[in-house]
Amino acid sequence: MIKTMHTDFYIADEVAGELFRRAPQQDERSALLERILKDYFQAHPSSQPSDIDLINAHADELNSEAIDVLDYQSVP
């Protein structure tokens, strides 16, 4: 089951009029807007890297620092 959330946003009257004309039922409007946003997001990937992307980009440096810390903790 896909979770959904209710959102409110403001759009120009002319855009809202066209949306209501093309998708008169609420579920039709929701489906249309969701499809438009998914298409947009796919065509325009986020320029912000995700946390995992940042971690992976610096994995060697982070691993090296972790090894250094563990070396300091070891008892000869």
Determine the Cα–Cα distance for residues 14 and 40; give it in Å rounded to an integer.
21
Note down pLDDT in tens along the chain; length 76 residues. 888 899 999 999 999 999 999 999 999 999 999 999 999 999 988 888 888 988 999 999 989 998 988 888 876 6
Determine the Cα–Cα distance for residues 22 and 37; give it in Å rounded to an integer.
16
22 touches 32 (CB < 8 A): yes
